[in-house]
Structure 1
Amino acid sequence: MLKLRGLLSVIIISVFISACTTNLERPTDVSYIEKTDLTWQQHLQQLKQIRSYASNGQLGYISPSERFSTRFEWHYKNPRAYTLRLSSTISSASLLIEMHEQGMTISDHKGRQRSERDAQMLLREVIGMDFPLNQFTYWLKGQPDENEDYKVGTNHLLATFSYPIEGQIWTADYLSYHEERQPALPKDILLKNQNQTLKIRVDSWTY
């Protein structure tokens, strides 16, 4: 059985105190516009057309049992084919999370691995994160669930959402965007529920 919790600490412990994990309070001075705004609706349609993409950046995570910050690389093809690599900035240590038809596999840079059909259980047991990776593909690119509660900012982009997943209320605040290309995609995101905080800084996008 793969024992990666100690390795995870090696990967991220030295970079936890970083810009990625500061300013973890939700913003309160945000103005919103109607969801029917034409510019937002056009942007939303553009997001829906991005079905396969990649991004990389920094990720900071806090829960009662875990605190870490790490580099990440995310590659998404479809709900049964995506990868998330967590890596150190000061060593070769890394973890690779792979979703495939048989379930999920988590492996390290030394070739040790563990696989399970229940992806959420594997994330909890190996890494200590209780996080909905299936929703992450939409959250990361700033595409809300249109049937749930979300708000659009005065920049005509997703500003925040709040909705339940498996008994927990998740909120997201989109603090800034990469607006140098269209459609504009998130740069800084703050994700929270009652027990977990995830701060994401996306450095680059490929789609």
Structure 2
Amino acid sequence: MMILMLFFNLLLSLVGANGMLEPWFESKGLGDADQVLAYFAVSKLGEPPVDGITDTNPEGLTAAFGKWGPAVAARLQAGGLSCKVLEKEPFQKQMLEKLIWISAFMLVGALHPGATVGVVEKDFRFEVISLIGELASAAAAEKGIVFEVGIENRLLAYARAVSHFPTAVKEFKWRNGWFYSISEKAIAQGKPDPCPLHTKWLKELNIVQ
């Protein structure tokens, strides 16, 4: 059990941060690097991990990709956690969904100081759904993919599963910054901002000028 706990904490230190890592991987020549999308949490060293299971995804959301994906999945499953092994495109879609989740919920929460993820899901649902739709559309166009139907419901369900989490816009470069770069690129080309709500709220919080 101790070995498994050390593995969980090491894995969280490597992949626990939510963010768009693809540009960094590509800059290092690691475009096909094995990856794990961790939907579980360890509150502190020694505590058992809590699985990322929601009412829309009772099979669990954690996913692994690449050569070592099956080995990682087996170790997580041995520790009582779910983990599916995906091919690159399905994995990329799920990674983007989590990026949209963290970017949308943290930004809407920041607009309402003190709001937890659960409060955003319950009291500011219209705002966060609007932002999810905007970010999903931009991400789909940027990556040339089509998300599965029901993305809003899936992300709201995950928010309910981690309703106690606080909200704050952090790690801008790796999260909201990826979407803002899409906006900047479009504007520089004389095109409309594909994420106007996102840009507006970032400016309201003085995160961008």
Q: TM-score, normalised to structure 2's length?
A: 0.28
Q: Which has the higher strand share?
A: 1
Q: Which has the higher helix share?
A: 2
